[in-house]
Amino acid sequence: MSFLITGGAGYIGAHVVRAMVEAGERVVVLDDLSTGVSERVPEGVPLVTGSTLDRELLERVLAEHEVDRVVHLAAKKQVGESVEMPLHYYRENLDGLRTLWEAVVAAGVRQVVFSSSAAVYGMPDVDLVTEDTPCAPMSPYGETKLAGEWLTRSAGRAHGVSTACLRYFNVAGAASPEMADTGVFNLVPMVFEKLTEGQAPRIFGDDYATPDGTCVRDYIHVADLAQAHLAAARALAEPGPVRHLTLNIGTGEGVSVREMIDLIREVSGHREVAADVTDRRPGDPARVVASAERALTELGWKARHDVRDMVASAWQGWLLHHPQARRD
């Protein structure tokens, strides 16, 4: 028996695949390679190129590889793009998930782990975000993740499938340089790009009600996130009644944008490039930090890497593709 990992050639997906393989699990990857990279998939792991919208392909993969557990990461995930292309996001993220569930039920799969996001919370006005904090997503991307949780839990209950919905906070770092995030959509690679070009990183507002006036976020190392998937999958496989878990995956510690940029400047050696402060972006909450206590209680999982580990490992991955950024 084996795992199907959708989106397993992506930045996060490849780390999940690696964690599963290192733990002795059999894995097959399905990825349309629109953003995934085939070279990230370990040697010996089957890679099927295709979409979760393809019901026939899904049924064939589930049968041929004797899949009994699924980890679903395949999705479109850019907030700004989702505002411009909501129909595309609903099709890819929700129709793809619905089609996957139809194949899962027909094949008798017993466990599904769903990749969700802290974007389901929107702008929570709390010090620590718990899983019981009201959800009010502010983008089509966040809406598809919340609706995906609803679909996953409802289908799981109706068909006796154990489920876990993992709400990621801000993911960064890399287990090895070749597995680093190659996109420039999140704070860490965005700052790397500016420093490489000799330009000032931007801080969007420094007048928030936080210690240094800049937004505070919870950053999670991608290797810790991968271990959370493994822990969730194994928890669902334990003997006993069907389970339905919804869990924050974060560290419980906040880092401000200014603190993160200063750390990146230090680690990268680009200390001479100071940040510029510009106007706030609409919709940016002052603070979004996870309570990860439920993940510890339910899975025995806790993040082990600190923010310096995240930045240092991400920088080594950046240098692999941008050697001109090096400061020796």
Residues serving a catalytic function are: 141
Residue 293 near residue 286, CB atoms below 8 Å: no
Query: What count of other Cβ atoms lies within 10 Å of the Cβ of residue 62?
Result: 23
Terminal Cα distance for the chain, rounded: 48
At 305, list the tokens: 């890497």
